[in-house]
Amino acid sequence: MHLTFSHRETWLHRVNPTLKLAASVLLFVAALFVHDPNVMALLAAASLLPLLATGHPPLRVLLYASPFLLVFVSSASGMIMFGTGATLWFELGLIRITEESFYRGLHLGLRSVQVAAVGLAFALTTRPVALFYSLMQQLRMPPKYAYSFLAALNMVPLLADEFFTLRQALQIRGAGPGRLGIYGRLRMYALPLLAQSIRRAHRMAAAMEARRFHSGSGKRTYYYIYGWSRIDGLYAVSIAALWLLAWLLGTHYPLLAATDVR
């Protein structure tokens, strides 16, 4: 079972995965200290731009980004309708919308979109194998942890294949989903899948120990070599320029009256 789709490789795919991971984490943390909804709106828009360079078809990117609307509404609505504030706009039962709660909810929704966009851009342009190889080479991650994560990721499609095979086998024997209750389905699916996963994990652990992944001694060679290039510098400069531009425009040319929602 394949969990990925074909796509065109762009310059974002050639950026060092460790740099992309560090930049994504830094952007997540930096967004927590932005309290101006004008700046946050521009930062959210700037975070959506890299999605155009992921190499995936526009319709697929739009499909991936469609949950952003749900993320925005779900995160903003709670703060808007049940927040606190002095300038009352609307009140009906438990719902109380004020000017302050509206801007806080809008700011929270935009922050959620920004975080989701950064995470999606990282996921669409970074292969797990490349990420862990880069972490082993740039950040000296122990190979036993890196290869363990890779092995766990490779087991996900195998687990999905086994689930579909088990479901088809049960349907042939007349034990389809409609004939079983919740407990029956849990017992018929969970126990065989769990037992098979434990056996596979044990065999994988034995194979890794045989290849001395448990030992930190000795120099290990890598099939994929990752280093630094000019594309990494271009990526870092582009991210910094987008954030600086969003900060300057949001500060000097605000679109909303509120400039601090704390």
The pLDDT confidence band at residue 205, using thresholds 50, 70 and 90, is confident
- Please list the alpha-helical segments (H only) found in 2-142: 17-31, 37-48, 58-65, 67-82, 99-125, 128-138
For CA atoms 223, 228, 230, 236, the dihedral sign is positive
Q: Name, in order, each residue with C-beta under 8 angstroms of 166's C-beta and a sequence gap of 6 or more.
A: 188, 189, 192, 193
Q: How many CB atoms lie within 10 A of CB 226?
A: 18
Average pLDDT of the residues in 145-157: 83
Please report the pLDDT score of residue 4 as a whole number: 60
Residue 179: pLDDT band with limits 50, 70, 90: low
Q: Which residues make Cβ contacts (< 8 Å) with residue 38, sequence separation at least 6?
A: 250, 251, 254, 255, 256, 259
Q: What is the pLDDT of residue 52?
A: 84
Segment (H or E) for 205: helix 182-210
pLDDT for 71 equals: 81
Angle between helices 58-65 and 67-82 (to 10 degrees): 30
- What is the pLDDT of the chain when averaged over all its residues? 83
pLDDT of residue 181: 67
pLDDT for residue 195 is more than 90: no
Give CA–CA dist 46/63, Å, rounded. Answer: 19
Query: How far is residue 80 from each of residues 77, 165, 177, 261, measured CA to CA in Å?
Result: 5, 47, 42, 12
Check if the beta carbon of residue 229 is closer than 8 Å to that of residue 14: yes
Write down the pLDDT at residue 175. 64
Compute the average pLDDT of residues 127-149. 86
Least confident span in 74-78, 95-99, 179-183: 179-183
Closest CA to 159 of 204, 206, 187, 196: 196
Phi, psi of 89 (to 5 degrees): -105, -40
Three-class DSSP labels, 179-194:
HCCHHHHHHHHHHHHH
pTM recorded for the entire structure: 0.78
Separation of alpha carbons 151 and 53, rounded Å: 29
Provide the Cα torsion 181, 184, 186, 189; round to 10°: -120
- Neighbouring residues of 235: CB distance < 8 A, sequence distance ≥ 6: 12, 15, 19, 20, 23
- Measure the CA–CA gap between 221 and 223, rounded to whole angstroms: 7
Paired tokens of 96: 């109380």
Which pLDDT band, with edges at 50, 70 and 90, does 158 fall under? Answer: confident
- 3-class DSSP state of 257: coil
